[in-house]
Every structure is written in structure tokens, then in C-alpha cells.
């Protein structure tokens, strides 16, 4: 704490006001400050009489004395991205028989055309035939939680070595990450459901026919009504980075910017963490109407901002009508009628950039199992995309994820490093 009378670096004298003293009293309370060291920010939870402006004034005085730059903002809300205005829902009763293109025996994979579109089956085969030893990778799903007993997910969870939990609930401060909304469960299955277990669907991240090397870390910071706070979002991001998640999936956002949130994602990116974020479903040009955290990807690599694509019956790919996009958006992934896991051990279709995001995150995690890290993962996904996606925003530097080409590029990179002795 600062002394009651402080000499500034320029020789000035600062006298602490009554508000300053109240700030010091608040800061001295146990549990008052969450120090999120992995992403370089602190969360101040105060039930004291001081507010944001008083805390900011106090920190400005400390900034002059200590030579440290502070950012201080009040907490604000983020939420699930509203569903697209309309989409055609297929009949899940027809999802039987597996998928010969993917090489999967999961009956629901017959309805996963989205995986065929990104060539994930061929990507799995290319990775498997390379004969490389795969690395274990953690993929964090920062969302509404998960159906912790879903038969297609129960074997896919990361386990915390400290307590065997599968993640954390930042709303209740417990390890119960049960999903009462369904959104997080759908995202988790899309990214990394168990593949070739003769039930349900196939997930993107784990190579078909191999032991799953990508495990799901479940970070619940969005409530069962789909709302959450930036402070809990940052606690979740810090948990992911601190506990070794290589990739994280973020299918939510806000139209309001927050410099503390920006700093958190900036520092996570600087640490090599790949945050994959959703562009939103408002059909906006993000250069005119930014959406966060996705719009941060314009400035911070290796972040990715993902838009949604649709494919017509003859295979023509274009941006989905509802999808937002902008110069921060370098890739699209299938986002219309995506079949995945939902609570209660069941499956259903959902549409939106919320579904495109875990698809791209799953591909990123797959590349990490091959040995790529950080910016190399992002660069490989972007450089291997299928270019020339029709879109209403006049964007030319954008294309659809191609998992096969991404894996092929990744294998060339890791082979080159091997021969150079890296």
C-alpha cells in the first residue's frame, strides 16, 4: 500500500484522500484481488463503498509513484451469440449408418457433412499414415459448461492433476461445470467428441482410429441463461493458459470494447496460446461494427476470428447469410445445421458462428498434436484455407478451413524441423 503522503517521481507530493484510504482498506481484505498472472491482469472484487472512478484515481497516483502503467475498467457483460434469424433444421432420425467418406462408424457422423466439407477424414488419414508420435494437447471450451456424463464426451475430458476435475465453474467457484443451457455441450462435441466408438458423432480434433490425444478442458463462465462477466471470462482464460491449454474456443462476445479484456487476450497470444473466437451472427461488417473478443484478432496473433460458411447442394461455398465478418476474419468454417452433442446424452442441430468456432479450434488442436505451436498453428490454418469465399463485405483475404491441406502443411513443417535437428 502507498503511504498516506507520497512523493511523486517528479518531486510532487500526493496526499491520500478519504477515497484513497477507503481503496487501501478494500485492497487489504482477503480475497479482494484475483491475480491472473498468466495473462497479466488483476480482478478487483469490491463490496466496499468505492467505485470504479475512485479506484482509478487511486491507481493513477500509484502509477506516477511506482512507474507502472495501470488500466482500470468496471466489469461488464458478455453473452452467447444470438441464434441466426432462421435456418433449416434437418431430421436427426435419419442420422444412422456411419460415414464412409470420413471412415467413421459413429451413426450420427452420417449427418456431419460439415466434416466432409473441411476434409477432416482425409486429414486424419494423412496424419495417421505419417506415422508420427502424436503430442497430448488440451483444448479449452470457454462457454456454458458441458454435459459431464454424455457418453460421447465422458472419455474426452482433461483431468486436473490436483483434484481430477475436468475444469472449473467461475460463477459458483466450484468444479461443477454442468451445462444447463446446451451451448457449451454442442461446442465441445463438435470440437472433440469421441470418434469411432459406434455411438453418436465424430469430433474434429482427434485422429480417427487413434487414442485421443486432444482432451477437453471445460471452463464454465456463462450462466444457464447465456450471460457472463468479463472478469469471469478473464479468469477462465487465465486458467486455460496457466494449466497448459494450447487452444481455446470462445463462442460468445460483446459489441463493447474493454481494455482489460484486450490486455488479457494480448498477453495470452504473446504466450503462444491460440484463442479461436466467433465473429457473430448479426451479419455485420466487423470493421464498422466490431465484435469482441473476435475483433482483437486483427491485432493479436495467434488469435483467430471465425465466420460461418454455408455449402449449397452442388458444393458451392459462400458465407452464411447471418455471419458477420471483417478484416480480422481470415477464415470461415461450416456453420449451418451442425449436428453435435446436447445435454441428456442426445444430439441436435444448431447453426451460427458459435458452431464454426469449435470446428476451427478442433483443427488447431489437431495441428498441435502434430507438433505445431502458437503462430505456426494459425499461419498453417490461414495459409491452407480454400480461398475465394463469396461474401457481402468485399473481403478477399478470407477462405474456408481445409483440414487436409493444413495437416499436409504441418507435416512438411515438422519434417523440415526434424531434418534440421530442431
What are the residue numbers of the active site?
143, 183, 354
If DSSP codes are grouped into helix, strand and coil, which group holds residue 94?
Answer: helix
One-character DSSP codes across 161-173: TTT--SEEETTTT
How far is residue 317's CA from residue 387's CA, in Å, rounded to a whole number?
Answer: 10
How far is residue 139's CA from residue 247's CA, in Å, rounded to a whole number?
Answer: 5
Going by their DSSP bridges, the two strands 252-253 and 274-278 should be labelled as unpaired
Cα of first residue to Cα of last residue in the chain, in angstroms, is: 47
How far is residue 117's CA from residue 213's CA, in Å, rounded to a whole number?
Answer: 23
Going by their DSSP bridges, the two strands 214-220 and 167-169 should be labelled as parallel
DSSP 336: S
Phi-psi region of 130 (alpha: psi -120 to 50; beta: other; left: phi over 0): alpha
How far is residue 367's CA from residue 381's CA, in Å, rounded to a whole number?
Answer: 9
Cell of 293: 473478443
Find, among 322, 337, 278, the residue nearest to 115 by Cα: 337
How far is residue 289's CA from residue 295's CA, in Å, rounded to a whole number?
Answer: 9
User: Could you tell me if 262 and 71 are in contact, meaning their C-beta atoms sit under 8 angstroms apart?
Assistant: no
The cell 507438433 sits on which residue?
371
How far is residue 331's CA from residue 385's CA, in Å, rounded to a whole number?
Answer: 7
Amino acid at each position: 500500500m502507498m503511504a498516506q503522503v507520497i512523493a511523486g517521481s517528479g518531486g510532487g507530493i500526493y496526499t491520500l484522500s478519504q477515497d484513497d484510504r477507503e481503496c487501501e482498506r478494500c485492497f487489504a481484505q482477503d480475497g479482494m484481488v484475483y491475480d491472473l498472472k498468466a495473462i497479466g491482469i488483476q480482478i478487483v472484487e469490491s463490496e466496499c463503498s468505492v467505485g470504479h472512478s475512485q479506484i482509478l484515481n487511486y491507481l493513477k497516483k500509484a502509477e506516477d509513484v511506482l512507474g507502472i502503467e495501470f488500466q482500470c475498467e468496471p466489469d461488464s457483460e458478455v453473452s452467447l451469440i444470438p441464434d441466426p434469424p432462421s435456418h433449416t433444421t434437418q431430421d436427426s432420425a435419419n442420422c444412422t449408418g456411419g460415414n464412409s467418406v470420413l471412415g467413421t462408424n459413429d451413426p450420427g457422423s452420417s449427418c456431419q457433412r460439415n466434416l466432409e466439407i473441411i476434409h477432416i477424414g482425409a486429414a486424419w488419414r494423412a496424419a495417421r499414415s505419417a506415422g508420427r508420435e502424436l503430442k497430448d494437447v488440451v483444448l479449452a471450451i470457454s462457454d456454458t459448461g458441458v454435459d459431464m456424463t454424455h457418453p460421447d464426451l465422458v472419455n474426452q475430458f482433461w483431468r486436473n492433476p490436483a483434484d481430477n476435475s475436468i475444469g472449473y465453474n467461475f460463477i459458483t467457484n466450484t468444479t461443477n461445470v454442468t451445462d444447463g443451457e446446451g451451448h457449451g455441450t454442442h461446442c465441445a462435441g463438435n470440437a472433440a467428441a469421441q470418434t469411432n466408438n459406434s455411438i453418436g458423432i465424430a469430433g474434429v480434433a482427434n485422429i480417427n482410429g487413434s487414442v485421443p490425444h486432444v482432451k477437453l478442458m471445460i471452463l464454465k463462465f456463462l450462466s444457464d441463461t447465456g450471460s457472463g462477466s468479463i472478469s469471469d471470462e478473464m479468469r477462465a482464460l487465465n486458467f486455460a493458459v496457466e494449466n497448459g491449454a494450447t487452444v481455446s474456443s470462445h463462442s460468445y462476445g460483446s459489441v463493447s470494447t474493454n481494455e482489460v479484456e484486450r490486455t488479457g487476450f494480448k498477453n495470452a497470444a504473446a504466450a503462444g496460446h491460440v484463442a479461436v473466437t466467433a465473429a457473430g451472427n448479426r451479419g455485420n461488417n466487423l470493421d464498422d461494427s466490431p465484435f469482441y473478443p473476435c475483433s482483437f484478432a486483427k491485432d493479436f496473433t495467434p488469435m483467430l476470428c471465425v465466420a460461418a460458411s454455408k455449402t449449397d447442394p452442388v458444393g458451392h461455398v459462400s458465407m452464411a447469410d447471418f455471419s458477420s465478418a471483417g478484416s480480422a476474419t481470415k477464415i470461415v468454417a461450416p456453420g449451418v445445421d451442425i449436428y453435435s452433442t446436447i445435454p441428456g446424452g442426445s444430439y441436435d442441430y444448431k447453426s451460427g458462428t458459435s458452431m464454426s468456432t469449435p470446428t476451427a479450434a478442433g483443427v488447431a488442436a489437431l495441428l498441435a498434436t502434430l507438433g505445431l505451436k502458437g503462430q505456426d498453428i494459425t499461419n498453417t490454418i490461414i495459409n491452407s484455407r480454400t480461398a475465394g469465399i463469396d461474401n457481402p463485405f468485399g473481403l478477399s483475404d478470407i477462405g474456408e478451413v481445409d483440414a487436409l491441406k493444413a495437416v499436409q502443411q504441418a507435416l512438411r513443417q515438422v519434417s523440415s524441423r526434424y531434418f534440421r535437428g530442431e
